Amino acid sequence: MATTAPAKLTPADPAGSGPPAAPAAAAADAPALALHDTPDVAVRAVSLPGQRDWGDGTPVFPRCLLASSPGGAQGTPISAAAATAWAAANRSALDGLVRRHGALFVRGLLPADATAFASLITDGVAADNFPYVGGNAVRTAVVGDVVFTANESPPSRVIPFHHELAQTPDSPARIFFFCVHPATVSGGETPLALSTRVYDRLAAEYPAFVRQLTQHGVSYRRVMSEWDRSSSAIGRGWRATLNVSSAAAAEAALAARGYTWEWLGDGSDGHGRLLREVSPPLPATRAVDGRPGAVAFYNQIHAAYTGWTDEYNTPAECVRDGAGGALDADAMAAVGRVLEACAARIAWTPGDLMYIDNRQAYHARGTFEGRRRVLASLAK
Ligand code: FE2
């Protein structure tokens, strides 16, 4: 039985979907909403428990939207086709909102159905699909190559805050998460953290550390088994990670991306040949497109430093600065604290959608009990 109660909705911006004037508290964001209703879908901005509003001019995070069927009774479902048509009609406005806020949380728009989610991505938002190559999480395809399961790591383990695939030279610009059903017993939220705020805090409190990362970048090192290991949060094998079917092809793929590597062991432990990869120096901070002066703490160091642990990997060895230097332990502990301080946690309900700017917002996963089905899609 679900103990994660649906979040209570509080109207915050009733003018968001139409011309009437917004109340004073919402006026600052009303011009940026610019969403248009369709005959079957009306959408307005709301506040949800767990959403962040710092009250200092930073846009609320994430921007929360509530969809309903105009003319229908409260809770009348919106069809997948109508949801897709609404998203298509509001494509550029949605993109603008995601850029402004870092992430959108949309409730009431989609039925809790994977094919509806896929249609919204491909035909509504028209996202340019980003294949999941180079990541270290075990995933399963659900709808074509567009929708797959979110990281299948064990429920008892937190997935730390990270930017998707920031440990690789090529990462997706956008991520979509979709809740088919929340954890049936407890937990399993997908916390978000605003990366520009994380950068500002760390640059003020640990300037030397931020300078080190900005100057040298960061390098990630990981030992991969040949075959996937679902017992590990970073258990994706090198065949799947690199999308190859031979050791020679793995070496060619790594060389093409500027990595170095080393083969370890004799493959006798049942997980195949072990491959240690070392990334080239990758940027650890990133200017935000369209937001002059805004810098994101765009990297994977927190997840690597705290979460890349299994029988083959030791977290502190998994991340170094781009010149090979160790990262300061106190500063790394501060990264974790700052991420928590900048986090938003909204409980999932069936059909909820997150639309995330991967350059501006971190995501994570809490532990959970019971069964949980949250799907994901990546876009360029
Ligand atoms: Fe992720």
Using the mean position of ligand 1's atoms as its centre, give its distance from the Cα of residue 151 in Å.
Answer: 7
Using the mean position of ligand 1's atoms as its centre, give its distance from the Cα of residue 314 in Å.
Answer: 20
Proportion of the chain above pLDDT 90, given as a percent: 68
Using the mean position of ligand 1's atoms as its centre, give its distance from the Cα of residue 138 in Å.
Answer: 11
On the 0-12 / 13-18 / 19+ scale of CB atoms within 10 A, 312 is buried
Using the mean position of ligand 1's atoms as its centre, give its distance from the Cα of residue 190 in Å.
Answer: 10
Higher pLDDT, 75 or 218: 218
Using the mean position of ligand 1's atoms as its centre, give its distance from the Cα of residue 364 in Å.
Answer: 7
Q: What is the mean pLDDT of residues 296-309?
A: 91
Summary mean pLDDT of the chain: 87
Within a 10 A sphere around the Cβ of 16, how many other Cβ atoms? 23
Higher pLDDT, 270 or 67: 67
Tell me what pLDDT residue 5 has: 37
Using the mean position of ligand 1's atoms as its centre, give its distance from the Cα of residue 299 in Å.
Answer: 12
Using the mean position of ligand 1's atoms as its centre, give its distance from the Cα of residue 38 in Å.
Answer: 32
Q: Does this model's pTM top 0.75?
A: yes
Using the mean position of ligand 1's atoms as its centre, give its distance from the Cα of residue 31 in Å.
Answer: 31
Using the mean position of ligand 1's atoms as its centre, give its distance from the Cα of residue 33 in Å.
Answer: 27
Using the mean position of ligand 1's atoms as its centre, give its distance from the Cα of residue 363 in Å.
Answer: 6
What is the spatial distance between Cα 158 and Cα 274, in angstroms, rounded to a whole number?
Answer: 25
Using the mean position of ligand 1's atoms as its centre, give its distance from the Cα of residue 24 in Å.
Answer: 37
Using the mean position of ligand 1's atoms as its centre, give its distance from the Cα of residue 37 in Å.
Answer: 32
- Please determine, for residue 141, whether its predicted confidence score (pLDDT) is greater than 90: no
Q: How confident is the model at residue 204 (pLDDT cuts 50, 70, 90)?
A: very high
- Please determine, for residue 23, whether its predicted confidence score (pLDDT) is greater than 70: no
Tell me what pLDDT residue 72 has: 67
Proportion of the chain above pLDDT 70, given as a percent: 88
Q: How confident is the model at residue 153 (pLDDT cuts 50, 70, 90)?
A: confident
Q: Which domains does the chain have, with CATH numbers?
A: 10-156+173-185+347-379 (3.60.130.10)
Q: What is the pLDDT of residues 69-123, one digit of tens each?
A: 887 666 778 999 999 999 999 999 999 999 999 999 999 999 999 999 999 999 9
